[in-house]
Amino acid sequence: MNNRIKNLREESLNAVNRITAERALLVTRFYQSDEAKGLSIPVQRAKAFEYILKNKELYIGEGELIVGERGPAPKATPTYPEICVHSLKDLEILNSRKKVWFRVDQETKKVYEEVIIPFWTGKTNREKIMSAMTPEWHEAYAAGLFTEFQEQRAPGHTVSGDKIFKKGMLQIIDDIRESIKSLDFVNDPRAYDKHEELKAMEIAAGALIMWAARYAERLDLLASAEENPARRQELQQMAAVCRRVPAYAPQTIHEALQYYWFVHLGVITELNPWDSFNPGRLDQHLYPIYKKQIEEGSISKDEVYELLQAFWVKFNNHPSPPKVGVTAEESNTYTDFCLINIGGVKEDGSDACNEMSFILLDVIEEMRLLQPSSMVQVSKKNPDRMVDRTMKIIKTGFGQPSIFNTDAIIQELLRQGKDLVDARKGGASGCVETGAFGTEAYILTGYFNMPKVLEITLNNGRDPMTGKKIGIETGDPHHFTSYEQVLDAFRQQLEYFMNIKITGNNTIERIFANNLPVPFLSLIIDDCIKNGTDYVAGGARYNSSYVQGVGLGTMTDCLTAIKYQVFDNKKVTMADMLKALAADFEGYEQLRFDLLYNTPKYGNDDDVADEQLREVFEINYNALNGKPNTRGGQHRVNLLPTTCHVYFGKVTGALPDGRKARIALSEGISPVQGADQCGPTAVIKSAAKVDHLRTGGTLLNQKFAPEFFEDDEAIHNMTKLVRSYFRMDGHHIQFNVISAETLRDAQKHPENYRDLIVRVAGYSDYFNDLGEDLQEEIIKRTEHETM
């Protein structure tokens, strides 16, 4: 990387995470103004978006090539008071907490106290949601049965397709006008709603062009005052780019990246959607433009690298917007889950790996930034050299890229009823979530604590952590005489809580559709324009809702322990097991030892243990899959925890697998920490017993000593390990290459490991930013030794 990039990268790493009241203040001013009055909701939202872009501060950093920030400066992070409003106490916590802090200055607090809090209290979407939820929902939520994604962030989780790389906003406006023209007020009872939505979309598209024009003007101004002729020319060039995009389709790499970046900021300024929007199949989007430019000689390879590196830095400037309350613990990270996809297959199903794929891999390796995150899609059609190259980056130990199975992803999407070409254009986003890029709203709704359901089942509907009865009575387990009875009671209990979750989801979806449409995001995702319907209201071609199951490994081992120790071998009575759990194994140390060391465990390719995995999977799947959402789509299963397994562990008492109360649950579909004793092939074989193709994503984490990547031969073996898992339809695998010693040292001397990044359940994070319990867990996770 050259000096310019070095400086930009360093500035980004050193920028202080802070809260800015800029957006909150602008959106408040808008809603207080006459301009906001008398408008339909979608048009009001679009006008608010326009107002923000018209009035927000512009930022152009020294030496920057790609311009635009969500806040007034890098890492100045806005808030979204229409979603939820931070209290002064929240701001104080953000300012002073040890990990993932955001500085809040006096001025911001003052604005909050005098303007934001008084105006928004009682009007936020979060309050609407909370007052609409049933008492059963509130009880289950408070007990930690599930979390709710949408209480503090907007429904997100979608990824750009190729549309913006082919169409300018002016063409998109033409499409909107066409759609308006074809409205049929006589026969379509929703014609007026569609009209207002489309009008809103047009305003939003125009707003982005206007914002780019503001940048162009400012860049010209800077150019005229610039003394260095090289930089002056650069600024003029950048101004020209901002005049071309987003209005017109991009013709150069510079225009393509700047266009995407404006769109990115548009999406995350309009609202704060989960998980952050991302460009998706970036190598596919850029390659045709790159090829043309190289052939005509209008760009050098060095310039391509420089632009991409400058683009990478922009992502890193944008920490995820900070939350309040329970979610501060459950998903506590600066990462906003932009997951750039590389490789995979083309629309026609052939190998999509191209020169740009390798360029992007070089950029990832050299930039070594937390954001954007990256992944490589591996199809059976992709060459080994692409995977080997990926392994060499993984070897450097910062947890990127993760590796996904394109062929599985396509089958998952087809099973959900998607078109084959749409499926091929898809990939994975966030942590591991399968989606049809550019055509799907696949909304994650919250994590679901499966082991907690078992805990409540073993207490006949009561939550032993609080003594409250929050579940249904599925029978006193003292009287259970067979394992099947336990399983059946668990099934009933899980269905009960899942239905509460789905009820909540279907209410919350409507609250968003009615109050907080996203006309800007709707421009990007097909077929919102054609349908005249918003992204959050079912306008997308495909509409899925996910509930992310957590603790599959823990759950499996719990059922195995009950089946194997209580019923099959009668080593312990149910009564004693229940007593031991109630006592958190105090006085039952031998039992706990036997549960941990002398009971079959998931992750060892042992059917005695893995059989229960299938049962848990089916119960969870049947309770959720196919249940309708309000957007014309269905609920689907995926299995990933982000960091929620730590939070869920904290609210869950002792469990039959020997786990003590409040310890983290297993993460993703990985075995319980330390339970896998037969090496990585056994873990993979066990994990392949999950029916990945019926999910929308699973997460398997494997930690390896660096020695496994020591030379080309070793790296190739790792490639083959992945290929084998994918032949068994595995969805995703990621490697942590690090030694436990290094991590211990990092705990002792965080100052020496400022840039130490590890992979935590689906994304990478700075080790120093992780909570101690998560740090401990990563250290504990089986390190497969080279012996």
Partner 1 sequence: MQGTIFDIKRFAVHDGPGIRTTVFFKGCPLNCLWCHNPESIGCEPFQSVRKIRLDDHLFDQPEKVGREVSVSEILNMLRKDRMFMEESDGGVTFSGGEPTMQPAFLKQLLIASKDEGFHTAVDTCGYTSRQTLAEIFPFTDLFLFDLKHVNSEKHLAFTGKSNEVILENFRYIIESKKRIRVRIPVIPLFNFIDDEMKNICDFLIPQKDNITQIDLLPFHTIAQNKYKRFGIANKMEGIKGLSKEDIYDAKKIFEKEGFKVKIGG
Residues classed as catalytic: 431, 433
Could you say whether residue 590 binds partner 1 (CB under 8 A)?
A: yes
Q: How many Å apart are CA 120 and CA 476, to the nearest integer?
A: 48
Could you say whether residue 685 binds partner 1 (CB under 8 A)?
A: yes
Could you say whether residue 740 binds partner 1 (CB under 8 A)?
A: no
Decide whether 102 or 404 has the Cβ nearer to partner 1.
404
In the complex, least distance from residue 698 CB atom to partner 1, rounded to whole angstroms: 18
Identify the CA nearest to 353 among candidates 391, 305, 385, 325: 385
In the complex, least distance from residue 688 CB atom to partner 1, rounded to whole angstroms: 9
Helix H or strand E segment including 350:
none
Q: How many Å apart are CA 196 and CA 479, to the nearest integer?
A: 61
Decide whether 412 or 610 has the Cβ nearer to partner 1.
610
The 693-712 contact track toward partner 1, x by CB under 8 A, reads --------------xx-xx-
Could you say whether residue 392 binds partner 1 (CB under 8 A)?
A: no
Identify the CA nearest to 643 among candidates 487, 763, 515, 486: 763
**Which one of 157-165, 266-274, 565-573, 716-724 is the stretch in contact with partner 1 (CB under 8 A)?**
716-724
Decide whether 95 or 724 has the Cβ nearer to partner 1.
724
Decide whether 720 or 748 has the Cβ nearer to partner 1.
720
Counting DSSP H helices and E strands in the chain, the numbers are 33, 14
Could you say whether residue 728 binds partner 1 (CB under 8 A)?
A: yes
Could you say whether residue 741 binds partner 1 (CB under 8 A)?
A: no
Instruction: State the first-to-last Cα distance of the chain, in angstroms, to the nearest integer.
Output: 38
Q: How many Å apart are CA 330 and CA 524, to the nearest integer?
A: 30
Identify the CA nearest to 687 among candidates 783, 559, 552: 552
Which residues, 6+ apart, have CB-to-CB distance to 463 below 8 Å?
Answer: 143, 455, 456, 469, 470, 471
Give me the DSSP letters along 46-104: HHHHHHHHHHSPP---TT-SS---SSSSTTEE---TTT----HHHHHHHHH-SSS--B-
Q: Which of 123, 417, 514, 593 binds partner 1 (CB under 8 A)?
A: 593
**Which one of 217-225, 267-275, 545-553, 595-603 is the stretch in contact with partner 1 (CB under 8 A)?**
595-603
In the complex, least distance from residue 704 CB atom to partner 1, rounded to whole angstroms: 10
Could you say whether residue 569 binds partner 1 (CB under 8 A)?
A: no
Decide whether 167 or 392 has the Cβ nearer to partner 1.
392
Q: Which of 6, 177, 468, 727 binds partner 1 (CB under 8 A)?
A: 727
Could you say whether residue 597 binds partner 1 (CB under 8 A)?
A: yes
Q: How many Å apart are CA 567 and CA 380, to the nearest integer?
A: 44
Characterise 551 by phi-psi region: left (phi > 0), alpha (psi -120 to 50), beta (else).
left
Q: Around 575, how many Cα atoms within 13 Å sit in the side-chain half-sphere? A: 1
Which positions from 663 through 682 interact with partner 1, judged by CB under 8 A?
678-682
CB distance 625 to 633 below 8 Å: no
Could you say whether residue 714 binds partner 1 (CB under 8 A)?
A: yes
CB distance 224 to 210 below 8 Å: no
Give me the sign of the Cα torsion angle 90, 96, 101, 102. Answer: positive
Q: How many Å apart are CA 495 and CA 489, to the nearest integer?
A: 10
Could you say whether residue 534 binds partner 1 (CB under 8 A)?
A: no
Q: Which of 33, 717, 748, 755 binds partner 1 (CB under 8 A)?
A: 717
Q: Which of 177, 190, 720, 754 binds partner 1 (CB under 8 A)?
A: 720
Decide whether 605 or 777 has the Cβ nearer to partner 1.
605
Identify the CA nearest to 331 among candidates 577, 32, 671, 99: 99
In the complex, least distance from residue 689 CB atom to partner 1, rounded to whole angstroms: 12
Decide whether 694 or 723 has the Cβ nearer to partner 1.
723
Could you say whether residue 716 binds partner 1 (CB under 8 A)?
A: yes
Which positions from 77 through 96 interact with partner 1, judged by CB under 8 A?
none
Decide whether 102 or 735 has the Cβ nearer to partner 1.
735
Give me the helices (H) in 516-573, please.
Answer: 519-524, 528-531, 552-561
In the complex, least distance from residue 708 CB atom to partner 1, rounded to whole angstroms: 7
Decide whether 510 or 571 has the Cβ nearer to partner 1.
571
Decide whether 472 or 728 has the Cβ nearer to partner 1.
728
Could you say whether residue 291 binds partner 1 (CB under 8 A)?
A: no
Identify the CA nearest to 331 among candidates 36, 37, 747, 765: 765
The count of other CB atoms within 10 Å of the CB of residue 40 is 16
Could you say whether residue 1 binds partner 1 (CB under 8 A)?
A: no
Q: Which of 2, 298, 514, 786 binds partner 1 (CB under 8 A)?
A: 786
Both structure tokens of 626:
């196919």
Angle in degrees, CA 693, 699, 704, rounded to 5? 130
**Which one of 24-32, 79-87, 594-602, 742-750 is the stretch in contact with partner 1 (CB under 8 A)?**
594-602
Q: Which of 589, 618, 741, 772 binds partner 1 (CB under 8 A)?
A: 589
In the complex, least distance from residue 656 CB atom to partner 1, rounded to whole angstroms: 16
Decide whether 7 or 724 has the Cβ nearer to partner 1.
724
Could you say whether residue 240 binds partner 1 (CB under 8 A)?
A: no
CB distance 400 to 364 below 8 Å: yes
Size of the site for partner 1 (CB under 8 A): 31
Which positions from 598 through 627 interact with partner 1, judged by CB under 8 A?
598, 605
Q: What is the DSSP letter of 746?
A: H
Q: How many Å apart are CA 86 and CA 72, to the nearest integer?
A: 19
Could you say whether residue 115 binds partner 1 (CB under 8 A)?
A: no
In the complex, least distance from residue 724 CB atom to partner 1, rounded to whole angstroms: 5
Contact positions vs partner 1 (CB under 8 A): 589-590, 592-593, 596-598, 605, 678-682, 684-685, 707-708, 710-711, 714, 716-717, 720-721, 723-724, 727-728, 784, 786-787
